[in-house]
């Protein structure tokens, strides 16, 4: 059982996954489309060791019981597949703030899945890895792939997996990630998924989502940035309208979030192609083209409530690296 380290990027959903039709298997109510974000990475080292009496898990220097339990549960799935009982040492590190709505669980569980599977020398296809990662965290299903990705919702575990629509080098899009706070987000996506159905607008969203996915795939196919950005921004606002109208409203935005959204709208009106999207956190992803990245980052970096700016390109599928974390 070898020591394996995997590096993989988080992703940003252009069409979002919201609501589950099966809580245990993490089957989503709807399909989604995302891009991987090279620059917002998780690195995870896994080693199964006969001398361990329990899994030894450290995430960002800490061993938090809730997170450890979720990781152990996922390791159990992989141990079952391999038919072993050996415990593992796991160390994981992100290059971006965790738990702030930047999908650290997606890259985290994708990296864990790939590292544990490789460490136990299991031979799984990309589809099988995606299905396995999905059971750890929904968005990890997409992070198992690279480039421009579609998660097919599916009605069974075997049919709910992700595919890479286009590789990372297909189209150079940039994501200027605007951090307005590094504290933990208040909305747990697990509770949010459960509450989705309580919004009176949720069914209307589901009725239209197939069409939205088709439009987004067309925008990617034709490399139509204005169409992609505009669809992504409208989708983000629709997604937040579901959050806002759920029983127990979920208000994810901070004043800084709104400041960035308004600045992006103004910047676009001045001729700069840029569009925002936001998950359950308060930090804002601003999609733009490479030639405008600098101007977008400089402009948004000057806003009064902005703490820092991170920059990401379209990223690849998980890959093995030699730099182990222990």
The contact set with ligand PMV (CB under 6 A) reads 13, 16-18, 32, 103, 105-106, 137-139, 189, 279-280
Q: How far is the CB of 16 from ligand PMV (least distance, A)?
A: 4
Of 58 and 103, the one with the shorter C-beta distance to ligand PMV is 103
Q: What's the per-residue H, E or C state across 89-106?
A: EEEEEECCCCCCCCCHHH
Residue 96 token pair:
């971006």
Of 78 and 102, the one with the shorter C-beta distance to ligand PMV is 102
Of 209 and 296, the one with the shorter C-beta distance to ligand PMV is 209
Of 37 and 117, the one with the shorter C-beta distance to ligand PMV is 37
Helix, strand counts (H, E) of the chain = 9, 13
Q: How far is the CB of 280 from ligand PMV (least distance, A)?
A: 5
CB-based contact 200:244 (threshold 8 Å): no
Of 120 and 286, the one with the shorter C-beta distance to ligand PMV is 286
Q: Where are the alpha helices (DSSP H) in 245-314?
A: 255-269, 290-301
Q: How far is the CB of 188 from ligand PMV (least distance, A)?
A: 8
CB atoms within 10 A of CB 287: 23
Q: How far is the CB of 206 from ligand PMV (least distance, A)?
A: 14
* DSSP state, residue 315: -
CA-based nearest residue to 196, from 70, 280, 133, 284: 280
154 φ/ψ sector (left φ>0, alpha ψ -120 to 50, else beta): left
Q: How far is the CB of 290 from ligand PMV (least distance, A)?
A: 24
Of 120 and 177, the one with the shorter C-beta distance to ligand PMV is 177
Of 189 and 257, the one with the shorter C-beta distance to ligand PMV is 189
Q: Is 113 helix (H, G, I), strand (E, B) or coil?
A: helix
Q: How far is the CB of 231 from ligand PMV (least distance, A)?
A: 14
Residue nearest to ligand PMV (CB): 13
Q: Which long-range contacts (CB under 8 A, 24 or more apart) does 299-302 make?
A: 299/263, 299/267, 299/272, 300/176, 300/178, 300/260, 300/263, 300/264, 300/267
Could you give the CA distance from residue 73 to residue 61 in angstroms, rounded to a whole number?
20
Q: How far is the CB of 42 from ligand PMV (least distance, A)?
A: 14
Of 5 and 246, the one with the shorter C-beta distance to ligand PMV is 246
Q: How far is the CB of 65 from ligand PMV (least distance, A)?
A: 19
Q: How far is the CB of 145 from ligand PMV (least distance, A)?
A: 14
Contacts of 318 (CB under 8 A, 6+ apart): 6, 7, 8, 110, 111, 114, 143, 144, 146
Q: Is 285 helix (H, G, I), strand (E, B) or coil?
A: strand
Of 48 and 253, the one with the shorter C-beta distance to ligand PMV is 253
CA-based nearest residue to 260, from 313, 296, 312: 296
């Amino acid at each position: 059982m070898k020591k394996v380290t995997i590096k993989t990027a988080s992703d940003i959903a252009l069409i979002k996954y919201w609501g589950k039709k099966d809580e245990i298997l993490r089957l989503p109510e709807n399909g989604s489309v995302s891009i991987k974000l090279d620059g917002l990475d998780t690195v995870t080292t896994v080693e199964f060791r006969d001398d361990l009496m329990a899994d030894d898990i450290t995430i960002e220097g800490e061993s938090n019981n809730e997170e450890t339990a979720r990781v152990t549960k996922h390791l159990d799935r992989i141990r079952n597949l391999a038919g072993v009982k050996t415990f593992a040492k796991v160390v994981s590190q992100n290059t971006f703030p965790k738990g702030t709505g930047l999908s650290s669980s997606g890259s985290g569980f994708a990296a864990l899945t790939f590292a544990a599977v490789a460490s136990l020398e299991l031979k799984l296809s990309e589809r099988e890895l995606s299905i396995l990662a999905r059971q750890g965290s929904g968005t990890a299903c997409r992070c198992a792939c690279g480039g421009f990705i579609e998660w097919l919702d599916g009605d069974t575990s075997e049919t709910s997996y992700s595919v890479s629509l286009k590789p990372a080098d297909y189209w150079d899009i940039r994501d200027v990630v605007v951090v307005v706070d590094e504290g933990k987000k208040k909305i747990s996506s697990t509770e949010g998924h459960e509450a989705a159905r309580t919004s009176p607008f949720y069914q209307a969203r589901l009725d239209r989502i197939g069409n939205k996915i088709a439009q987004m795939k067309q925008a990617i196919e034709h490399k139509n940035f204005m169409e992609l950005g505009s669809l992504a921004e409208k989708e983000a606002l629709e997604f937040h309208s579901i959050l806002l109208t759920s029983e127990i409203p979920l208000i994810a935005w901070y004043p800084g979030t709104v400041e960035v959204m308004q600045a992006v709208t103004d910047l676009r009106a001045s001729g700069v192609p840029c569009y925002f999207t936001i998950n359950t956190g308060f930090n804002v992803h601003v999609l733009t083209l490479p030639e405008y990245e600098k101007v977008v980052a400089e402009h948004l970096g000057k806003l009064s409530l902005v703490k820092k700016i991170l920059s990401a390109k379209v990223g690849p599928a998980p890959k093995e690296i030699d730099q182990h974390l222990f």
